[in-house]
C-alpha cells in the first residue's frame, strides 16, 4: 500500500489508522506515544534509558501503551502521563512525576506538536493560533524551566523543530511560526545553559510519515507527501532515531546549540 490509499483521519490521529503503517524501528533499531516520539523512546530504551512519555488524551492511550510495550521489552521502565502540555501546570507536573519515578532527569526531549492547514489567514481561529504556540513553544519553556534544576552536567535537552522553521509553508502558518521560535529558543538556551554543562540541540525533520500528516493535511498533499525531496520519498520515524541518540550521548559531548537536519536532502542552511 502507498500513501495514496490513506484516508483522512481525525486529529491527532493514531498509528492504527495509518496506511501504510509507519516504521519506528520496532524490529530494526539495535541497540511519545507515536510517530517520532515512539521511535525515539524505542531507541533510548534499547540504549539503556528508562522513559517517561507524555501524551495528550485517551484517544492516544493505545499508541502510548504500545510504545510502553516496546520500551519494557527492552528491559526498561516506561511511565505514561496523559494530559495537555499547553497548560503550564501540567508541564510542571510531568517533571515532578519524572523526578518521583526516576530521581533525576538526564535527557529532556521536547517533541509534541500541534498543526492545522489553512488556505487563508482569516480562516485561522484566534484560539487555535494561541493553542499552537502554547503547545509547540510555550511548553518547551515550561518543561525546560522545571527540568533544568534536576539536570546534572552532561545532561541534554533536544527540541524537535522542523524544516518549516527555514522553509515555511503558507498553509502551515501557525505551525511554521512556532518552529522558527523553537529553533531560536534552542540556540539561545544552549548558550544560557552551557556553563551548567547541559547541552541543547534541535532536530529539524523534513517530511516524516507520522499520524500528524493524514490527520491534518489535505488528501492531495498526503498522497504526494515527501515526493518533492531529493530522495523522492517521505522519511520514516526510525530514520530520525539515530540523531536523537547521538545528541543525548557522550559521543555528542561537544555538540550544543545546533539545528540538525533530517530532511531527505532538502537543504537547511
Task: Single out the residue of 3, 5, 11 nearest to residue 215, CA to CA.
Answer: 11
| β-sheet bridge partners, residue 54 | 81
Residue 93 phi, psi (nearest 5): -65, -35
Nearest Cα residue to 106 out of 69, 134, 139, 76: 76
Per-range mean pLDDT, top range of 51-65, 119-133, 206-220: 119-133
pLDDT at position 220 is 75
175 is catalytic: yes
Question: Is residue 12 very low, low, confident or very high in pLDDT (cuts 50, 70, 90)?
Answer: low
pLDDT reported for residue 32: 52
- For the segment 19-23, the average pLDDT, to the nearest whole number, is 52
Q: Helix, strand, or coil here: 261?
A: strand
- Read off the pLDDT of each residue in 84-103 and give the average, rounded to a whole number: 98
pLDDT for residue 104: 96
pLDDT at 31: 34
In this predicted structure, the answer to whether residue 159 has a pLDDT above a threshold of 70 is: yes
Residue-wise pLDDT for 30-50, tens only, equals: 335 557 899 999 999 999 999
- pLDDT surpassing 70 at residue 27: no
Cα–Cα distance for residue pair 162/179, rounded to 1 Å: 6
Q: What is the mean pLDDT of the chain?
A: 88
* 160-182 average pLDDT score: 96
pLDDT tens-digit map of 202-261: 999 998 887 777 777 777 778 888 888 999 988 898 899 999 999 999 999 999 999 999
Conformational region of residue 126, where left means phi above 0, alpha means psi within -120 to 50, and beta covers everything else: alpha
Beta bridge mates, 156:
107, 199
Whether pLDDT at 3 is above 70: no
Asked whether the beta carbons of 36 and 210 are under 8 A apart, the reply is: yes
Mean pLDDT over 2-28 rounds to 49
Find out whether 138 and 193 touch, Cβ atoms under 8 Å. Answer: no
Rounded to whole angstroms, how far apart are CA atoms 83 and 239?
Answer: 27
**CA atoms in the 13 A half-sphere facing the CB of 137:** 21
By the 8 A CB rule, do 201 and 140 touch?
no
Q: What is the CA radius of gyration of the chain?
A: 17
Cβ 191 vs Cβ 225: under 8 Å: no
Tell which wins on pLDDT, 172 or 223: 172
Q: Which domains does the chain have, with CATH numbers?
A: 3-262 (3.40.50.720)
Catalytic residue among 29, 55, 175, 244: 175
- For residue 91, what are the CA distances in angstroms to 140, 146, 151? 9, 8, 16
Amino acid at each position: 500500500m502507498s500513501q495514496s490509499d490513506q484516508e483522512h483521519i481525525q486529529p491527532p490521529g493514531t498509528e492504527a489508522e495509518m496506511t501504510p503503517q509507519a516504521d519506528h524501528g520496532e524490529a530494526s533499531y539495535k541497540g511519545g506515544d507515536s510517530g517520532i516520539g515512539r521511535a525515539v523512546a524505542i531507541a533510548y530504551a534499547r540504549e539503556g534509558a528508562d522513559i517517561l512519555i507524555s501524551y495528550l488524551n485517551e484517544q492516544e492511550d493505545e499508541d502510548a501503551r504500545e510504545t510502553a510495550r516496546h520500551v519494557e521489552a527492552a528491559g526498561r521502565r516506561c511511565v505514561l502521563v496523559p494530559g495537555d502540555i499547553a497548560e503550564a501546570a501540567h508541564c510542571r507536573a510531568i517533571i515532578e512525576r519524572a523526578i518521583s519515578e526516576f530521581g533525576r532527569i538526564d535527557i529532556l526531549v521536547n517533541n509534541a506538536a500541534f498543526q492545522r492547514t489553512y488556505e487563508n489567514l482569516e480562516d485561522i481561529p484566534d484560539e487555535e493560533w494561541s493553542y499552537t504556540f502554547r503547545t509547540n513553544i510555550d511548553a518547551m519553556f515550561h518543561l525546560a524551566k522545571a527540568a533544568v534544576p534536576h539536570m546534572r552536567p552532561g545532561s541534554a535537552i533536544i527540541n524537535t523543530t522542523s524544516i518549516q522553521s527555514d522553509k515555511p509553508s503558507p498553509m502551515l502558518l501557525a505551525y511554521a511560526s512556532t518552529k522558527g521560535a523553537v529553533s531560536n529558543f534552542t540556540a539561545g538556551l544552549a548558550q544560557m545553559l552551557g556553563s551548567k554543562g547541559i547541552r541543547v540541540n534541535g532536530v529539524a525533520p523534513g517530511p516524516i510519515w507520522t499520524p500528524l500528516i493524514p490527520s491534518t493535511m489535505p488528501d492531495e498533499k498526503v498522497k504526494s507527501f515527501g515526493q518533492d525531496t531529493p530522495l523522492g520519498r517521505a522519511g520514516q520515524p526510525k530514520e530520525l532515531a539515530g540523531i536523537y541518540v547521538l545528541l543525548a550521548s557522550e559521543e555528542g559531548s561537544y555538540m550544543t546549540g545546533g539545528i540538525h537536519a533530517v530532511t531527505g536532502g532538502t537543504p537547511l542552511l
